[in-house]
Amino acid sequence: MNTQTIIDYLSALSLNNNREWYHANKDDYKKANAEFEELLQALIAEIGKFDSSILHNNPKDLTFKIVRDTRFSHDKSPYNPTFRAHIASKGKLPVPVGYYLMIKPGGQSFLGGGLFADMFKDATAMIRDHISQHGEEWEQLIHEPEFEKYFTVQGTALKNVPAGYDKGHPQAEYLKLKSWYLEYPIKDEELNDAEAFLQKAAEIFRIMKPFNDYLNKALAGFQMPAR
């Protein structure tokens, strides 16, 4: 498990973000991707010690492509120099929520959790309803000292409390959100020691788990929209 191989490849791709370089260095991509999948396999084993629901996953099924869809983007660079994965009970689907890993050199790597997607109106409504009905549990969760040490809840927000909810609700600020997620930044140097990073990531995800559990309780019965 050599995380430096991952960093070196992504750094080089970032500087040479074109199809000619990518295809000329395809072997380097394969090596870096294999290291990333090995890291994911080890991470699954560590997370499985406190969340057995993810143990069945195959790393290959959890990763996202580095080829970008540039059709509707101002940025026409063909590749996203990032290795990403979402580890959850149903793989990389955004629901149920799970544990997100993004490796991007230049101080942009992070560990994440919760619901990042805000385009699923049913999911948003289910979480809002759950927070409005279980506000005390939410407050205890997000103000638990160990949680507060590492996280603040983030998300896309409306300007006002949405219709159908009390504007004076104690959790009104959280009812404005359309997504609820956590990010823990990872410095490039933290990735140098693969084993140390693995243990750190597993610990961060362990602290994150009650937040994911709360959201997944709210999302029970959610169906992904048909494509």
pLDDT tens string 22-38: 999 999 999 999 999 99
Question: Is there a domain that residue 79 lies in?
Answer: yes
Taking only the tens place, the pLDDT of each residue in 48-101 is 999 999 999 999 999 999 998 877 777 889 999 999 999 999 999 999 999 999
Band of pLDDT at residue 19, cut at 50, 70 and 90: very high
Tell me the backbone φ, ψ of residue 68, rounded to 5 degrees. -90, 150
Question: Is there a domain that residue 223 lies in?
Answer: no
Quick one: which of 53, 10, 15, 49 has its CA closest to 32?
Answer: 10
Cβ 53 vs Cβ 89: under 8 Å? yes
CA dist., res. 30 & res. 151, Å (int): 34
Task: For residue 96, say if its preceding peptide bond is cis, omega within 30 degrees of 0.
Answer: yes
Question: Is there a domain that residue 194 lies in?
Answer: yes
Question: Is there a domain that residue 225 lies in?
Answer: no
- Quick check: pTM over 0.85? yes
Band of pLDDT at residue 227, cut at 50, 70 and 90: confident
* Helix (H/G/I), strand (E/B), else coil: 46: helix
Question: Is there a domain that residue 103 lies in?
Answer: yes
CA dist., res. 127 & res. 137, Å (int): 13
| Sign of CA pseudo-dihedral 110, 223, 156, 73 | positive
Instruction: List the domain range (segments joined by +) for residue 110.
Output: 3-218
CATH of the domain at 126: 3.30.930
Question: Is there a domain that residue 92 lies in?
Answer: yes
Question: Is there a domain that residue 226 lies in?
Answer: no
Beta bridge partners of 180: 115
Q: Domain count for the chain, please give it.
A: 1
Question: How many of the other CB atoms lie within 10 Å of CB of 225?
Answer: 9
N residues, the chain = 227
DSSP E strands in 49-104: the ranges are: 83-87, 99-103
Taking only the tens place, the pLDDT of each residue in 109-162 is 999 999 999 899 999 999 999 999 999 999 999 999 999 999 999 999 999 999
Question: How many of the other CB atoms lie within 10 Å of CB of 16?
Answer: 14
Q: What is the pLDDT of residue 58?
A: 98
Question: How many of the other CB atoms lie within 10 Å of CB of 159?
Answer: 5
Question: Is there a domain that residue 227 lies in?
Answer: no
